[in-house]
Homo-oligomer: A and B are copies of this chain.
Amino acid sequence: MKKILLIDDEERMLDLLSMYLSMAGYACYKSTSGIKGLEMLKREKIDLVLLDAMMPEMDGWETCIKIREFSDVPVIIVTARHETEDIVKGLSIGADDYITKPFDEKELLARIEAILRRVNKHAYVECNGLLWDEERYVLVYNGQTLVVTPKEFSLIGTLMKNPNKVLTRELLISTLWSEDTETEGRTIDSHIRNVREKLRGVAFPVEKHLKTVWGIGYKWEQ
């Protein structure tokens, strides 16, 4: 279930959006100001931000700029006016899409889905200098490309894409192997071992990030 953060100073609009998006199967987080929104974004793992352009104190553009300082989360800006100036401005600060009020609910949904799909495509995660890039199929730390096997690559990807969350061996196996596999839990351990070794090999502080959760499984800590 994808999580959408709504930022708008009008409560009525928040409720409206939230209701509609919840019905469409999204989990909604509401925030009445840019500042609160930023905090929420840091705390929760948000998949997309719907950001009102016109807000008192910190407006949408400014909020978007701040978001881009620490996150690549997709941002859709909601504007009342439809003007070229706004669009150009939005693109230049890293917004992903635009929608104008009043908007058609179907159009909004379509845009959200389009962006979520697109973002899903070029999947990459970064953590403390370590970059996992699915499209290029590389794992890079400080400019050095690590040579990892396909299984190792998908294993570390799964972990990094779910930071601060324990993944059981069971879950990892059902994610990384096809359904009818006979593979048993200990196999994960072997791959974890290899991943750790290779990360240590390039002086990545693997102990700080790839943790063993006793009796449960493994976890990537950011």
In the complex, the chain B residue whose C-beta lies closest to that of A136 is B164
Pairwise interchain contact A219-B166, C-beta atoms closer than 8 A: no
Pairwise interchain contact A165-B136, C-beta atoms closer than 8 A: yes
Tell me if A171 counts as interface (CB < 8 A to partner B): no
The residue that A214 contacts in the complex, of B87, B97, B149, B219, with Cβ under 8 A, is B149
Pairwise interchain contact A114-B62, C-beta atoms closer than 8 A: yes
Pairwise interchain contact A150-B114, C-beta atoms closer than 8 A: no
Count of chain A residues with a beta carbon within 8 Å of a chain B beta carbon: 34
Task: Return the CB mask of A80-94 against B: 1 if under 8 Å, else 0.
Answer: 001111011101100
In the complex, the chain B residue whose C-beta lies closest to that of A84 is B84
Task: Return the CB mask of A119-163 against B: 1 if under 8 Å, else 0.
Answer: 001000000000000011100000000000110000000000000
Q: Within A187-222, which residues are at the interface with B (CB < 8 Å)?
A: 213-216, 219
List the number of copies, as a whole number.
Answer: 2
A-B contact pairs, 16 of them (CB 8 A): A59-B114, A62-B114, A62-B118, A82-B85, A84-B87, A87-B88, A88-B88, A88-B91, A135-B166, A136-B219, A137-B166, A137-B213, A149-B214, A149-B215, A150-B214, A150-B216
Report Cα–Cα, A62/B120, bound state, in Å.
Answer: 13
CB distance from A159 to the nearest CB of B (A): 13
In the complex, the chain B residue whose C-beta lies closest to that of A59 is B110
The residue that A219 contacts in the complex, of B98, B137, B164, with Cβ under 8 A, is B137
